[in-house]
Structure 1
């Protein structure tokens, strides 16, 4: 399933994204989740919870779907 996440700031971290998207319940779960699951950022595996996600980035999470980062200005 494809979903859009609208950014209110210039970027969010991968850990913040996981919480915003409802994949994890708290930021403390991010490290564990990324160690146990293969998350793709723009088609490349990435397990850094501090990875900065910016507008136009694509994040694929197993069993959750594909998410597209959008800037607040693109929202209509």
Structure 2
């Protein structure tokens, strides 16, 4: 079951999202994880840390953890 993550703005950048869910503590860590190709946004591998995430976007990390932006 996907975890729902509420944001208060129109969108959130992928690197900020990873900090929000406490997966990383810095932008450098986020960059490393994102470049590993283990994150999918709406079913597609995403390697851009500035990728904007909007309401109803699905984020899957290592094909294990799934999050939905609300």
- For normalisation by structure 2, the TM-score amounts to 0.90
Cα drift, residue 36 of structure 1: 2.0
- For the pair shown, the structure with the greater C-alpha radius of gyration is 1
**Could you list the runs of 5+ residues in structure 1 that have no partner in the other structure?**
71-76
The residue that corresponds to 1:28 in the other structure is 28
RMSD: 1.5
Count of matched residue positions in the alignment of Structure 1 and Structure 2: 70
Q: Report if aligned partners of 1:23, 1:64 keep a CA contact under 8 Å in 2.
A: no
Would you identify which runs of 4 or more consecutive aligned residues in structure 1 move more than 2 Å? none
Distance 2:2 2:26 in 1: 23
Q: TM-score, normalised to structure 1's length?
A: 0.83
